[in-house]
Structure 1
């Protein structure tokens, strides 16, 4: 073997080894494409698609700070609230499938109560009223789902509705319920609800109904509710009329045959009839002012036995009234201020001070929403 043959053999061996290593080369996998959040404009501003689904979600809420007063108060009543809501929607063969949740957290500061201290004269432990510390509450305001015209869960009663002021009362509250709304078109809708005002009370729910008409000139809503506890019913009508582009006139009329859960004062406490009105004027894009009042006639209340059994409705024949003014101002986008001042008087004492005279009440409220 000569040197030339040795060199040629070495070169061939090196090429073979290099080829084998090239066949075993590591292949670096390309990164998977990122899935960015997509905007969902089907249901309005603020919705986006939940990644990997066709469900659209909107996150919202507000922070509220309120300073309230009443003639009988010994000082300011301040409260802070926080609300967080989730609104999820998607399309199905039965229509829009919506799921909505709203949680509320509130704090009204400390309060007075029983505290203990050492009496300097006797050296014994004594007690008296004093500061009891922080006071916070948490609750579910809304938790329901809608599919087409069907709604199931916790929501405002179908009987809910009042004027735009802060002096008025329309009856009703949050309640667990099942309702169905039929959209007849042309701004007309008819709703029927079955609502449970009390857990484990009986097998007959509250029966509620509503007819709504909404047109270019305004709207009219007619409400009805039946409560089997006293076998009584309540009726209500609310009209909102656009007198001009800036001025809206609101009118309310209500009737209660007796004590019902829908009472204008409280549950099973109300009035035989009531009328009210409210004028709302849009001064400019930031400022809105309103003024109105409501009259409450022939007060009544339901009476109960010791075991909670409903007995009868007792009518007192007493009348009350309240008027109020509201100023709404948008400071910046999503930050609104509301100042409300009310004055009430009457025979039942509902709006009176400790001396039986008419009294003022009101609040300043700041809402920062998102």
Structure 2
């Protein structure tokens, strides 16, 4: 009995210890399956689904290096060119953009942001003291785009609806980035009608710029007609831009503008422009990599807005510009552009105040590396 009791007691003790150890064992959970990034080809190349959502995202950007020049030798207010000392001007820019899109019961919901950094290579400035110049190398950062679209509605910072010109680098079409609310109605068959309310001056008044556009795009090319009203000087502007595909390689472009007076959409600058202008441009695609273009634009009756009197002031100057452009794709996502322009007319004639004033040559060599 004593031996039997000892064996049974030992077995019970062993089972108890084994049970305690089993209860204390660490259980390793199986890893959850990883959700790999999925390609979203609904909106074109480069879009991916944000993990865990049905929103597609594309990250893009640009690196630009540009060498520009002009032969302006004075500080006079010559239009349509950047002034400065003689020499090459080097500029480096970097742009990053985010494009997010998803589908809703109201149509495609798009959100777009683009930020730019720019550096002009640094300059020497003369601080306090004689014979000493300090070096400054500052980079500027700016918000280019920040808007969302839902169906035909667009809200945020974008190019003005007035945006539209020739494909050259000499021409002027007016307009800039601006905060706005825009609606576009797609009538089908390549026809669209847009209306935009744009705020050119924060807290100026309750009346925004009113800009309208009718666009027709067909197999032969496109025609865009613009109209705008600016209540600051109670003036309006009209513009038409046409692109006609004469052949598979040759495109003919034309522009015509009219400004009743000074508007924010002026051809030269905000509230600075011309009563009317006419221009044309020819662009020829030599092959898939190389294209060349040339054109001219005439500007009549230069004017500007006088904010003191609230009236449009006219200088009566008639000016003109010609230019040529060579575009070349070096490799995929790396392109080069060479532009040469010449501006002349009444605004460039020598005066007593500016005896060296004359026609201006300008141009640049630009390299764009995009992703």
TM-score (norm 2): 0.91
Aligned match of 2:319: 320
The CA deviation at 1:350 is 9.0
In the alignment, is the contact (CA less than 8 A) between 2:350 and 2:356 conserved in 1? no
Aligned match of 1:121: none
1:239 and 2:242 are equivalent in the alignment:
yes
Note the alpha carbon deviations across 1:78-130, whole angstroms, 9 max, x for none. 111111111111111111111111111101022243224xxxxxxxxx33573
Distance 1:280 1:350 in 2: 31
1:256 and 2:259 are equivalent in the alignment:
yes
Q: Which runs of 5+ in 2 are unaligned?
A: 73-84
In the alignment, is the contact (CA less than 8 A) between 1:320 and 1:351 conserved in 2? no
Partner-residue secondary structure (3-state), 1:337: strand
In the alignment, is the contact (CA less than 8 A) between 1:85 and 1:100 conserved in 2? yes
Match of 1:198 among 198, 201, 226: 201
Distance 2:305 2:275 in 1: 13
The CA deviation at 1:179 is 0.8
**Residue 351 and residue 16 in structure 1: after superposition, are their counterparts in 2 closer, same or farther (change >3 A)?**
farther
Q: List aligned pairs for 1:7-86, cutoff 5 A.
A: 10-11=10-11, 14-15=14-15, 17-18=17-18, 21-22=21-22, 25-72=25-72, 73-86=85-98
Match of 1:110 among 122, 125, 143: 122
Distance 2:269 2:105 in 1: 42
Match of 2:223 among 220, 223, 237: 220
Aligned match of 1:97: 109
Distance 1:18 1:135 in 2: 73
Q: List aligned pairs for 1:263-342, cutoff 5 A.
A: 263-305=266-308, 311-342=310-341
Partner-residue secondary structure (3-state), 1:115: coil
Distance 1:225 1:314 in 2: 20
Q: Which runs of 5+ in 1 are unaligned?
A: 117-125
RMSD over aligned CA atoms reads 2.1
The CA deviation at 1:316 is 2.4
In the alignment, is the contact (CA less than 8 A) between 2:223 and 2:240 conserved in 1? yes
Distance 2:366 2:213 in 1: 31
**Residue 345 and residue 59 in structure 1: after superposition, are their counterparts in 2 closer, same or farther (change >3 A)?**
same
Note the alpha carbon deviations across 1:62-84, whole angstroms, 9 max, x for none. 01110000012421111111111
In the alignment, is the contact (CA less than 8 A) between 1:268 and 1:302 conserved in 2? yes
Aligned match of 1:120: none
Stretch of structure 1 that moved more, 30-39 or 59-68: 30-39
Partner-residue secondary structure (3-state), 1:127: coil
Distance 2:307 2:221 in 1: 42
TM-score (norm 1): 0.91
Aligned match of 1:160: 163
Distance 1:45 1:167 in 2: 33
Aligned length: 357
**Residue 19 and residue 136 in structure 1: after superposition, are their counterparts in 2 closer, same or farther (change >3 A)?**
closer
Partner-residue secondary structure (3-state), 2:40: coil
The CA deviation at 1:12 is 6.2
**Residue 292 and residue 354 in structure 1: after superposition, are their counterparts in 2 closer, same or farther (change >3 A)?**
farther
Aligned match of 1:363: 364
In the alignment, is the contact (CA less than 8 A) between 1:65 and 1:365 conserved in 2? yes
Distance 1:62 1:315 in 2: 40
